[in-house]
A and B are shown apart, each in its own frame.
Chain A
Amino acid sequence: MEGWDPNTKTTLTQIPLLSTKAGPRDGAAWTQRLKEEYKSLIAYTQMNKSKDNDWFRISAANPEGTRWTGKCWYVHNLLKYEFDLQFDIPVTYPSTAPEIELPELDGKTHKMYRGGKICLTVHFKPLWAKNCPRFGIAHALCLGLAPWLAAEVPILVDSGMIKHKDDAASSSES
């Protein structure tokens, strides 16, 4: 796992792996996969909470579990910056990873494709491909979104592209 910080590596190895190779068009096999996704997400969320490193909320936005929405946040200079989070499970999942979107930040950073899809590091896709079908949504958040927030939020804040909600509120009141 060249190119990853030790913290991400340790966390990743503690997220339960999945075993069913099924996408949203695979009927009963997808339901099985969905159960594994939940187990893995539950374990990851519990782990984050126990380490006092809770950083996202995610739930399925439809009964089929093909669209997910939630929130993620990052603390920079003791201030918490929170963003809406969304993605679809692609029809070729899990051969291809979900493309995580932060729609509020669309157009605010170069490290983003159109529509607010975060631009992953060169290390993400190879690792995902190597570990298909064992990586799931929790792994995508841990390997994709967490390092992106850590790298980009400080830049976005320092460059003034995003403001803390208290600042934004007080400046609009004044």
Chain B
Amino acid sequence: MEVELKEMLDELETLKRSLPDPSHYTTIDKLRLHVEHLTNLAKSAPVRRSKVKDMSAEVVDSNPYSRLMALQRMGIVENYERIREFSVAIVGIGGVGSVAAEMLTRCGIGRLLLYDYDKVELANMNRLFFRPEQVGMTKTDAAVQTLSEINPDVVLESYTLNITTVQGFETFMKSLTNKSFCPSKEGSGVDLVLSCVDNYEARMVVNQACNELNQTWMESGVSEDAVSGHIQLLIPGETACFACAPPLVVASGVDERTLKREGVCAASLPTTMGVVAGLLVQNTLKFLLKFGYVSPYLGYNSLKDFFPTMEMKPNPQCSNVACLERQKEYILAKPARDAAAKAKMEADASSTTECPLHDDNEWNISVVDDSVPDRKDARSSDALPEGLIHELPSADEFQKLPASEASATATDDLEDLRRQLEALNG
């Protein structure tokens, strides 16, 4: 392109010289300016910033982290730079997951693991993040492409697989337990798993993996009518798991019977998805960097701008075996937890007597004691706060039925049964 533009300039010069009438000179000079401008544009290849060794708080326009490190100077976050030690796995790189990944990338997260099996389509362009020229690429590869340009400091791993299949699940579990990024870390290889998938089946799979690995995770979701969403913190054994109770959804207030579903599966809005991604990553930052209150459940009803909250205890009769094991461990660890809490309280008390935090309360603001709200029993729907409903019913009480033996299938041999079905298929 640059060569052709150069030739064009030369030809314009020749043309100018060959013209007997100088009245056309200004037009030719204008054309030449345009070509020169185009040449400059062609020369300016995309700028890639180099990696940064340490996060600096220095306020210069070349420092990508100055505004983030300011959080530390202002006393909001004690140690922002710790963010580089953390690994976050994002399952589902769609309308919520991709935006969450971008936010964490811009925040300078240490490592991101991205999971999706889907490709970028033009039909995704009503959402944020992916660009039309990425259509046809896998979402994970397209995300790595964009994210590594935004912040080359982040270690990115892309997994193009379906976690609900037996094989995909195995790879998923193995990747979560890989500790090569931070070998000293306790537990699994990641600090948090973010579920940004769009269906109940995949959420149940993330729940299964996290219960088995004793891995804290956060759930997120946007309703199929695109007008509500939620985020939820799940700590195996400590809070309700995703299988402890039927999934909760934020009631949009729209009557399900009046919802017209003919010809469509699901709607989506970049706004609702962006809000939910923002809530999810805000909760993630608070959880990782230990500031503010980490919400156990936060709903978003966009039609009423209503944000219901709640907490859920685990269900001692949960159908998930790994959940029951984590519950048992959590109860066994209670004495140690109590001792640690007491020690912390004493330490805090002694430090407050040394320097009272809000001595000069000149505004006379009384701070209401933030006692822990009642934690709801995960099973009963009567206990649900206003604006939340169960999306699915619980399984009916399961009585083992006498096996209904069809006369032709008296056999109990797998190979025989397979042959019988094949015979019918033939």
Contact A92 B201 (CB under 8 A): yes
With A16-B404, A126-B393, A130-B396 already in contact, the answer to whether A91 and B412 are too (CB < 8 A) is: no
Q: Is A43 an interface residue (CB 8 A)?
A: yes
Q: Is A1 an interface residue (CB 8 A)?
A: no
Residues of A within 8 A of B409 (CB): 38-39, 42-43
CA distance in complex: A32, B249 (Å): 35
With A42-B409, A111-B265 already in contact, the answer to whether A129 and B392 are too (CB < 8 A) is: yes
Q: Is A17 an interface residue (CB 8 A)?
A: yes
- Interface segment among A73-81, A113-121, A166-174: the answer is A113-121
Which positions 92-119 of chain A face chain B at CB distance < 8 Å? Answer: 92, 95-97, 99, 110-115, 119
> Number of contact residues on B: which range applies?
35 or more
* CB 8 Å contact bits of B383-426 with A (1 = contact, 0 = none): 00000000011111010110110101100101001101110110
Contact B201 A42 (CB under 8 A): no
Distance to closest chain A CB from B292 (angstroms)? 33
Contact B200 A96 (CB under 8 A): yes
Interface of B is mostly: loop
Residues of B within 8 A of A60 (CB): 418
From A17, A46, A66, A110, B165 is in contact (CB under 8 Å) with A66
CA distance in complex: A125, B201 (Å): 10
Contact A66 B166 (CB under 8 A): yes
With A45-B421, A99-B201, A130-B395 already in contact, the answer to whether A38 and B414 are too (CB < 8 A) is: yes
Residues of B within 8 A of A24 (CB): 166
Residues of B within 8 A of A17 (CB): 401, 404
Contact B421 A129 (CB under 8 A): no
Q: Is A147 an interface residue (CB 8 A)?
A: no
Contact A49 B414 (CB under 8 A): no
Distance to closest chain A CB from B221 (angstroms)? 14
CA distance in complex: A58, B418 (Å): 11
With A99-B201, A110-B264 already in contact, the answer to whether A38 and B421 are too (CB < 8 A) is: yes
Contact A112 B265 (CB under 8 A): yes
Contact A91 B392 (CB under 8 A): no
Nearest CB in chain B to that of A20: its residue: B400
Q: Is A132 an interface residue (CB 8 A)?
A: yes
Which positions 160-215 of chain B face chain A at CB distance < 8 Å? Answer: 162, 164-166, 169, 199-201, 204-205, 207-208
Which positions 373-389 of chain B face chain A at CB distance < 8 Å? Answer: none
Q: Is A34 an interface residue (CB 8 A)?
A: yes
Residues of A within 8 A of B418 (CB): 38, 59-60
With A25-B166, A95-B319, A129-B246 already in contact, the answer to whether A122 and B256 are too (CB < 8 A) is: yes
From B319, B392, B425, A59 is in contact (CB under 8 Å) with B425
Contact B421 A41 (CB under 8 A): yes
Q: Is A9 an interface residue (CB 8 A)?
A: no
From B119, B264, B393, B403, A19 is in contact (CB under 8 Å) with B403
* CB 8 Å contact bits of A18-61 with B (1 = contact, 0 = none): 01010011000001001100110111011001000000011110
Nearest CB in chain B to that of A49: its residue: B424
Nearest CB in chain A to that of B118: its residue: A114
From B246, B265, B401, A119 is in contact (CB under 8 Å) with B265
Q: Is A154 an interface residue (CB 8 A)?
A: no
Residues of A within 8 A of B400 (CB): 19
Can you list 7 contacts pairing A with B, beta carbon distance less than 8 Å? A35-B412, A42-B421, A43-B408, A46-B406, A92-B164, A111-B263, A132-B319
4 shortest interchain CB distances as A-B pairs: A38-B417, A119-B265, A96-B201, A129-B392
Binding site for B on A (CB under 8 A): 16-17, 19, 21, 24-25, 31, 34-35, 38-39, 41-43, 45-46, 49, 57-60, 64, 66, 70, 88-92, 95-97, 99, 110-115, 119, 121-122, 125-126, 129-134
Binding site for A on B (CB under 8 A): 117-119, 121, 162, 164-166, 169, 199-201, 204-205, 207-208, 243, 246, 256, 261, 263-265, 319, 392-396, 398, 400-401, 403-404, 406, 408-409, 412, 414, 417-418, 420-422, 424-425
Question: Given A19-B400, A88-B166, A114-B119, 17 more contacts at CB 8 Å?
Answer: A24-B166, A38-B418, A42-B406, A58-B421, A88-B165, A89-B166, A91-B205, A92-B205, A96-B200, A96-B204, A110-B265, A111-B265, A113-B199, A122-B256, A122-B261, A129-B394, A129-B395
